[in-house]
A and B are shown apart, each in its own frame.
Chain A
Amino acid sequence: MPEPKADVFARRSALVEALARLVPEGVVADQDALAAYDCDALTAYRQKPLAVVLPTTADEVSAVLALCHREKVRVVPRGAGTSLSGGALPLSDGILLGLSRMSRIKEIDLENRCAVVEPGVTNLAITKAVEGQGFYYAPDPSSQIACSIGGNVAENSGGIHCLKYGLTTNNLLGVELALMTGERIRIGGKAMEAGGLDLLGLVTGSEGLLGVVTEVTVRLLPKPEVALASLVGFPSIETAGQCVSAIISAGIIPAAMEIMDRFTIDAVESYCAPGYPRDAAAILILEVDGIAGDVSRLLTLVEGIARKVGATSFVTSTDERERQRIWLGRKAAFAASGRIAPDMLCMDGTIPRRELPRVLSRIGEMSKDCGLPVANVFHAGDGNLHPLIMFDVMKEGDLDKAEKLGADILKLCVEAGGVLTGEHGVGIEKRDLMPLMFAEGDLAQQERVKCAFDPDALLNPGKVFPSLSACVEGGAMHVHQGRIPFPNLPRL
């Protein structure tokens, strides 16, 4: 992380007083209370911030940023703190700017199919607010019950329905953004396109390095008439992968396609017994949505494809309860795997699907070589892998081995033509692996973009871009003793 500024520590009490004047009742400065903010969902990294500020209005956000800009104090924005990549890890000499109290739904405009919300509104709350009228907000990160829309914008969050409905960036119409100076700009609104350069696209997924989102206008979609899930068993993980490619080659884009390997199936069966086929080496869960006639015809087509590729079983939900049961095991995969070993690391690379057999068998070899088991669950439609590395932090050398294996897996993804992160973000976690994917010139160009927004590097510095002094081997989410951060959230 950037070298802390000694002068800022010296000015701490004056700063806290100034912040309290700007945001009365919204400043946390007590050391014990600060401990609650010392990490996000990447709990392997912890750091108490200088102070926490919890504004309730955009004007307060602006005032805090303007003060910090004037005083050259660093700021780390935070939504609900569910980032898996350490995007909201505090700085010892920085203010943590929490947006969770800005949680009003300001407007629902179904005629224009959009909702205008404050950044602290949870992802799921948006859908809850409009589902009675037959609408929903499409991106569904697994933490959607807790994660905030502002954080979703910062991370460009995904979910299981990305293949058909896109990530956050494909479902936004506008934001209000506070710059580090405290000035606020409106990018887009209720129209489908904003004028000028596509700043909305640039800011989305910028991991809190370019500005602080103070309002979001999201696009709403009409809820499909029917959604059905199928559970398909395969004799090998390769045939499951072939089935996914064959479905796409047939011109079918299901709402979701998820693969789990034998290891994970066993783990979830002992954990919550969703009734997955015990004889299958891998399963594919797929969901098809649309009008009733289309859904049943597509499922017939898909079953034909699956059987031809070698599926050993194919069961489709007949009602919502069964659909939920099929998803239950997938949603519990993370927590269930966490029970098998004391510790676990979750990776997030994306690869071209054709590379699946090679990458998976190579991961198997690497796992055997270093003696740490790896479970494989992934968003198969878009090739987004989530290998889960099992280890025991109490065992001498295990953590090092696990982190090295994690980094090696991400190297393998990049070599296969893929990327370091499909949906969790770079954050602090994969920062030092960025040179695997980007040359020096590529990174320099991105850093110049940062400079255009924040020349003093006050906003969330130390994230995304590798710093010269850093030497941490990253690329993983750390779970200790099965205590995953936000244990009640399903992790997909």
Chain B
Amino acid sequence: MQVLRPESEAEAAALIAEAAANNRTLSIEGGGSKRHLGRLTTPSAVLKLDALREIVSYEPEELVITVRAGTPLAEVEAALAERNQCFGFEPASWSFEPAAAAATIGGTIAAGAAGSRRVVLGGARDHLIGFRAVNGAGEIFKAGGKVVKNVTGYDLPKLAAGSFGTLFTMTELTLRTYPRAATSLTLAVENLDVDSGCALMRRAVGSRFEATGFCYLPRVAIERLGLRQASSLTLIRFEGDAESTDARAHACGETLAVPFATVQHDDTWRLVQQLKSLQASQVLWRLSVPPTAAVGAIAALRPECFVVDWAGGLLWVEPGSASPRDVHAVARQFGGHATLFRGSDDLRRGDVFQPLDAVTAALTKRLKAAFDPHGVLNPGRMYDGV
């Protein structure tokens, strides 16, 4: 497949305009680490943005960084770490080895790839405050701003996050940064069944101890990670300085009244963000559900393996024999939505994202046309006709 690699925003705009004029379609890509995501499409060419690689400005005391879309995520995070900062949404790699290292900031935001901390500090959508982009007609535009508090005009940055490149191609992003915690302390509870584990996490997330991660791993996930022997792990993470995390973790543990251990800098969190226990899954689903629905949804899907994050709000599920139709029906029944995260080409020709009702589907198509009237950018990646 032809790969177009613009070296500037203007060049990207020209390439998109040319594609629009010639009825060609483009697959938009940063580092290519998330090709498995979304519906299978057949673009005329790939528009690869990895040459747009630069930290344009970074002002730690303003809590704001501006970067070109193709800058590797790792490079941006390293720059933040140097100034004791990070992204509050805890970017997740959402990829399978060895592609993970190629992830760019643009692709991360376009996919909305937020990690465990999303449950308290918000997702990618909450941390993108402005951007520059090229729409499907090849026109450059900007939206949002470069300050953390701004309500001027429509909040298009929210729309950008999680749009999978189907509306416009971001060329430059301005993101909010967050102080990096000096330490992380994890409260670990072993051997709870999934019902008790989820109930425990819900109590913890509703408590005053400001934990920043709540995940549950069943035996099969623990075994795949080669961790200690346990039938399950319920993990609650506290971040901050040592004195604070220690006080909060112990107070929380006592309030929850369960036997617990505390683990300094527990590496399991990194493994969870990197989907380490699910790397071999040939079919993988991601469900976002109300936390109290987690147990019911898992029971309905009878998965071979699963991981619960966000205190029950997020489920990673290897679904056994359930078909896409089954999984979407379960997600709907429990008040959430499901996305096929990895699957065969055949599965990816069907519904990957949760099917929309007729009115929302029509509105989504009109929005697509408002940005990409000729259907040049990632057509069909989310929905047919979008």
Contacts and interface: CB of A to CB of B under 8 A. Distances in A.
Interface of A: 109-113, 134-135, 155-156, 158, 162-163, 166-167, 169-170, 179, 183-187, 189-202, 204-206, 222-225, 245, 248-249, 251-253, 290-291, 293-294, 297, 350-354, 379, 382-384, 417-426, 430, 434, 437-439, 441-446, 448-449, 451-453, 464
A432 to B, nearest CB: 13
A419 B147 contact: yes
B14 to A, nearest CB: 15
A109 B335 CA distance: 14
Nearest to A112: B290
B158 A446 contact: no
B290 A191 contact: yes
Contact of A195 (B153, B179, B292, B337): B337
A192 B288 contact: yes
Contact of A446 (B143, B180, B210, B338): B143
B84 interface: yes
A123 to B, nearest CB: 16
A320 B361 CA distance: 50
B59 A422 contact: no
Contacts of A451: 366, 370
| 3 A-B pairs closest in CB distance | A201-B158, A195-B337, A251-B179
Contacts of B303: none
B162 interface: yes
A438 B126 contact: no
Interface stretch (B4-12, B68-76, B352-360): B352-360
Contacts of B383: 196
A351 B152 CA distance: 13
Interface string B52-75: 000000011111100000000000
Interface in B338-373: 338-339, 353-354, 356-357, 359-360, 363-364, 366-367, 369-371
B364 A196 contact: yes
A350 B162 contact: no
Contact of A196 (B126, B208, B382): B382
Residue with the highest number of chain A CB atoms closer than 10 Å, among B140, B142, B150, B152: B152
Interface string B160-172: 0111000100000
B313 A418 contact: no
B158 A198 contact: yes
Contacts of B126: 166, 169-170
B123 interface: yes
B125 interface: yes
Given A223-B208, A426-B151, 9 more contacts: A190-B290, A192-B314, A195-B339, A195-B356, A201-B155, A294-B240, A441-B139, A446-B143, A446-B154
Contacts of A291: 208-210, 244, 247-248, 251
A191 B337 contact: yes
A313 to B, nearest CB: 24
B146 interface: yes
B141 A442 contact: yes
Contacts of B61: 245, 248-249, 353-354
Given A185-B357, A195-B353, A198-B161, A448 B151 contact: no
Given A170-B122, A383-B147, A438 B153 contact: yes
B301 interface: no
Interface stretch (B31-39, B199-207, B262-270, B272-280): B199-207
B228 interface: no
B20 interface: no
B149 A201 contact: no
Contacts of A113: 205-206, 291
24 contacts: A112-B292, A113-B291, A166-B122, A185-B357, A190-B335, A192-B313, A193-B112, A193-B123, A196-B353, A197-B159, A197-B364, A199-B159, A249-B60, A251-B182, A290-B210, A294-B244, A294-B247, A350-B149, A382-B147, A425-B151, A426-B153, A441-B139, A442-B153, A451-B366
Contact of B243 (A253, A293, A424): A293
Given A193-B123, A291-B247, A352 B146 contact: yes
Interface size class, chain B? 35 or more
B156 A191 contact: no
A426 B149 contact: no
B95 to A, nearest CB: 19
Given A251-B180, A354-B59, A446-B143, A201 B118 contact: no
B192 interface: no
B39 to A, nearest CB: 13
B100 interface: no
Contacts of B135: 445
B319 interface: no
Contacts of B337: 191, 193-196
Given A179-B359, A353-B62, A449-B370, A198 B150 contact: no
With most chain A CB atoms within 10 A of its CB, the pick from B62, B140, B210 is B62
A156 to B, nearest CB: 5
Contacts of B221: none
A199 B363 contact: yes
A325 to B, nearest CB: 25
Given A191-B335, A196-B354, A445 B151 contact: no
A206 B359 contact: no
A196 B155 contact: no
B209 to A, nearest CB: 7
B153 A201 contact: no
B180 A198 contact: no
B300 interface: no
Nearest to A244: B61
A448 B179 CA distance: 37
A169 B271 CA distance: 30
A201 B159 contact: yes
A350 B360 contact: no
